[in-house]
Amino acid sequence: ASSTASARVHHASLVHPSTHSPVLLKLVDSSLSLPFIDYIANFVADALDSASGLPAFPLGDNLNRRSSIVGLKFFIRMLFGASRVQTPVILAALAFIDKAKHRFDITILQELPLERTLLSAIVVASKALNDHTMNNMHWQRCSTIFRAKEISRFELEFLDALCWNLRLTDSDILVHYDAI
């Protein structure tokens, strides 16, 4: 009976797959590829650019931006590999970044703003979507560059930027489809 019940719901939701857009299901089932990692890194950098209304990296400073994005891509591979984060969590994190970007209190002067923003969003998305998720000590081990206390502070700051609204719609996720 349990296998019959589980066949009726999509693994990334609690409802029958027919209630979701086929495009959404395809997106949620996509694997973490190099183009997907590139997209995530550039999306986070662009979100920080729009957070302040100013480029996080001044015009003409493409070398610094490229260098920071290369560092973020390394961080993504390390963090996602160690945490085994699933695509639905990544997509929710991107949607949360998009929703919160105009309320970020992050500047390029803070240490590792790209990594900090992504980690905050991943932690919040993981806790929002999963009944059983890692605590911040585990995220500390996976990130290797932030302490658990910092991660807790980042998480609260990110939740404040979201006004504690963790509601997502299909369209919040589908905006990423063409790019991925």
Backbone angles phi, psi at 12, to 5 degrees: -100, 5
CA distance 152 to 105: 15
Q: What is the mean pLDDT of residues 135-158?
A: 95
What mean pLDDT value characterizes the chain?
83
| Two tokens, residue 126 | 């993981």
pLDDT at site 13: 61
- Per residue in 86-107, pLDDT (tens digit) is 999 999 999 999 999 888 775 5
pLDDT at site 108: 47
Using alpha carbons, list the distances in angstroms from residue 179 to 24, 91, 108, 141, 147: 13, 12, 25, 30, 33
So what CATH class is 33-174? mainly alpha
| Two tokens, residue 152 | 């807790």
Residue 71's Cβ-count burial label (10 Å; 0-12, 13-18, 19+) is: middle
pLDDT at site 17: 61
Please report the beta strands in the chain, taking only residues with DSSP state E, as ranges in sequence order: none
Q: Record the pTM.
A: 0.83
In 3-state terms, the chain is what percent helix, strand and coil (to 5)? Answer: 65, 0, 35
State the pLDDT confidence band at 178, using cuts at 50, 70 and 90: confident
Q: What is the mean pLDDT of residues 159-174?
A: 92
Amino acid sitting at position 153: R
Q: Above 90 in pLDDT, residue 36?
A: yes
Q: What is the mean pLDDT of residues 113-141?
A: 94
- Is residue 108 within 8 A of residue 57, CB to CB? The reply is yes
pLDDT at site 75: 96
Q: Above 70 in pLDDT, residue 56?
A: no
- Per residue in 70-91, pLDDT (tens digit) is 999 999 999 999 999 999 999 9
